[in-house]
Amino acid sequence: MCGIVGYVGTGAALPVLATGLSNLEYRGYDSAGVALADGDLDVYKRSGEVDALRAALPESAPQHRGIGHTRWSTHGPPTDANAHPHTGCSGDVAVVHNGIIENYDALRAELDADGHTFTSETDTEVVPHLIEAELETGASPREAVRSAVERLEGSFAIVVTIAGDDELYATRRDSPLVVGHGDGEQFLASDVTAFLEQTREVTYLEDGDLAILAAGGVTIERDGETADPDRETLDWEADAAEKGGYEHYMLKEIHEQPAALRQTLSGRIDPDAGTVDLDLDLPAEYVSSLEEVQFVAAGTSNYAARYAAELVEELADVRATVEIASEYEFSGGRDPWRTLTVAVTQSGETADTLSAIRSASRAGARTLSVTNTLGSTVTRETDDSLFIRAGPEIGVAATKTFASQVATMTMLSVALGRQRGTLSSDRASEVLSSLRGVPGAVQQVLDRADDVGEVAREHADADAFFFVGRQYGCPVALEGALKLKEISYDHAEGFAAGELKHGPLALVTPDTPVLAIMTDGSRPDATLNNVKEVQARGAPVIGASSHEGADRYLDVEWPVPDVGVLEPLVANVYWQLFAYYVAESKDRSIDKPRNLAKSVTVE
Ligand code: G6P
């Protein structure tokens, strides 16, 4: 996701910012920029890599203050103009921002009417204009930043610098920011990696804090008063730092899921009203006359699609099918005008999925992509696109993109149901409230990671692992097994729990742990019978459960918080952690498993 770096001190700002941006490259980005500040502001920004920006920067620059940013596009494609920092009309206020400003449309309209001119398509650009407007009324820089930020809805980490001023201003809501303390110089970043060569003395900011950084020191305002929060001293190795302190990108990305999910949902749902705003222009008549929503996808995305298909059938009351992209043909007596073909692909570049979507388009079906990558091939080849906003995923094994795909398609299912008149506003409110609870529920699972690690290590030498689930739990069983086999190289299979007795039961022994989902949305009563069947054959059973009384039949029970039909999605986080710790105990190449690639661009 986007990265922020800031510097104020007695040394030159430019080399610190340039190094900081290079250190942030691992997070993934598609453009970068810096603003150097003194009596006035010099802004440099480029789409593409930090090297492209470096080529545009002067060799040296006298300024002692500045901010930098690596952008990962959410509003507007990766162009020079959309890269951060953004400035107001006068060019005296520069801002870098991570997150999403939900009410930027309304703010932009208001600022437009007041004569402000915008030069980008980003949500961020409203911020320097708002600060500029406050400064024009005579507010001090500190007041101007505070008042502007009070008007923002959404999630953000924001850093501001103003021409002719000596300070940097930083504030956050639901997006990290950390201050680095040096001797006569201070640093700021979204991630300590950015300035680890400079200092290891840090203060993590909290939501609502306003940090004011000057060369001589840092003031933090919290709840209207000056606060003196504790400093921490980091002792990270450079390699760990690059992964945000985690040993592998995969583990970092598993832990990023609450934040990724919040970004996915940000500004799109209103649980009280039971409404969803996905910025999709599907004609009402077309949506009402739909006969089939047909998903095409590969790998993990295919399992996310299976989850979604169940949701579409339940909430939008329309037939939903899922095809493996490489097997797809538009056939079988479908009416293309009443079919919506949805390509689910985190990369947007999977050859099999692109080929499937081309076939659907040729047949005349309307197409929609659900992807994590703005500007990817699939977004150019489908009629509409839905962006899952999970942030870059570097580990080959997909984790946070699965969660964000399912969350995005839950919103899609509600939107279709509401538009088709098949979903009551009460039920829509219920599903959306559950969805809003998912980031917190996932965090509760993550808080038990040590426990999961212990159980995983105990079973790491098993002969094979079987994952079972019903209904929404079925695709999660398939995904759990896929994760485990991808990164541990162990034999793992996922089954619909009811299928166990039709074959796989022959494989079950005391050396084959069975991992079962026993939550809402996964018919836990019926699954309990299957759990008893495998237990009778001596298999240890690990359950991700919200089902009262299940503990009597489970060797290990991990609790799943109450989020209705999304409980299997939350349970999946246990399976991700389990796979991770089994693979870790075997010292596997977790981020780059043998023979696998993140984006498969061949058929
Ligand atoms: C590869 C990756 C999988 C991924 C699949 C589909 O096989 O290793 O993790 O699920 O491609 O990728 P997509 O980008 O289309 O979601």
Q: According to the 3-state scheme, what is the secondary structure of 195-237?
A: HCCCCCEEEECCCCCEEEEECCEEEEEECCEEECCCCEECCCC
Q: What is the pLDDT of residue 180?
A: 96
Stated as kind and residue range, the H or E segment containing 87 is strand 86-87
Report d(CA 390, CA 28) in Å as an integer.
12
Separation of 484 CA from ligand 1 center, angstroms?
Answer: 15
Tell me what percent of the chain is helix, strand and coil, each rounded to the nearest 5. Answer: 40, 25, 35
* Protein residue whose Cα sits closest to atom 3 of ligand 1: 299
Which amino acid, one-letter code, is at 554?
L
∠ CA(523), CA(528), CA(529), 5° rounding? 110
What residue ranges line ligand 1, CB within 6 angstroms?
A: 298-301, 345-347, 350, 353, 396-398, 596-600
- Other beta carbons less than 10 A from residue 222's beta carbon: 16
Chain-wide mean pLDDT for the chain?
94
> Which of 373, 385, 598 has most ligand 1 atoms within 8 Å of its beta carbon, as the pocket-test mutant?
598
Separation of 92 CA from ligand 1 center, angstroms?
Answer: 44
Separation of 134 CA from ligand 1 center, angstroms?
Answer: 47
Which amino acid, one-letter code, is at 86?
H
Distance between terminal CA atoms of the chain? 29
> Which of 344, 346, 357, 485 has most ligand 1 atoms within 8 Å of its beta carbon, as the pocket-test mutant?
346
Separation of 345 CA from ligand 1 center, angstroms?
Answer: 7
Please say if 474 is a catalytic residue. Answer: no
Please say if 598 is a catalytic residue. Answer: yes
The atom of ligand 1 lying closest to the CA of 353 is 15
Bridge-based pairing of strands 339-345 and 292-297 is: parallel
Contacts of 506 (CB under 8 A, 6+ apart): none
Chain-centre distance for alpha carbon 352: 24
Separation of 403 CA from ligand 1 center, angstroms?
Answer: 14
Q: What is the pLDDT of residue 592?
A: 87
pLDDT tens digits for range 529-543 = 999 999 999 999 999
> Which of 302, 347, 402 has most ligand 1 atoms within 8 Å of its beta carbon, as the pocket-test mutant?
347
Distances (CA, A) of 141 to 104, 134, 162, 453: 21, 8, 8, 49
Separation of 452 CA from ligand 1 center, angstroms?
Answer: 25
- Domains along the chain? 3-241 (3.60.20.10), 252-444 (3.40.50.10490), 449-585 (3.40.50.10490)
Cα Rg of the chain, angstroms: 25
Q: What is the pLDDT of residue 183?
A: 95
* Protein residue whose Cα sits closest to atom 5 of ligand 1: 299
Separation of 592 CA from ligand 1 center, angstroms?
Answer: 13
> Which of 350, 379, 400 has most ligand 1 atoms within 8 Å of its beta carbon, as the pocket-test mutant?
350
* Protein residue whose Cα sits closest to atom 8 of ligand 1: 598
Task: Please answer whether residues 220 and 229 qualify as being in contact, where contact means their C-beta atoms are separated by less than 8 angstroms.
Answer: yes
In the chain, count H helices and then E strands.
18, 27
- Exposed/middle/buried for 412, CB within 10 Å: 0-12, 13-18, 19+? buried
Beta strands in 206-335 (DSSP E): 210-214, 217-222, 225-227, 232-233, 269-270, 275-276, 292-297, 319-324
* Protein residue whose Cα sits closest to atom 14 of ligand 1: 347
Instruction: Catalytic residue, from 89, 586, 592, 598: name it.
Output: 598
The atom of ligand 1 lying closest to the CA of 352 is 15
- Segments of the chain with pLDDT less than 70: 1, 236-240
pTM: 0.83
∠ CA(458), CA(520), CA(369), 5° rounding? 95
Instruction: Quote the tokens at residue 413.
Output: 């299912």
Contacts of 84 (CB under 8 A, 6+ apart): 2, 33, 45, 69, 71, 95, 96, 97, 122, 124
Report d(CA 125, CA 111) in Å as an integer.
11
Q: What is the pLDDT of residue 237?
A: 67
Task: Please answer whether residues 400 and 229 qualify as being in contact, where contact means their C-beta atoms are separated by less than 8 angstroms.
Answer: no
Q: What is the pLDDT of residue 1?
A: 63
Contacts of 40 (CB under 8 A, 6+ apart): 91, 92, 163, 164
* Protein residue whose Cα sits closest to atom 15 of ligand 1: 345
Stated as kind and residue range, the H or E segment containing 499 is none
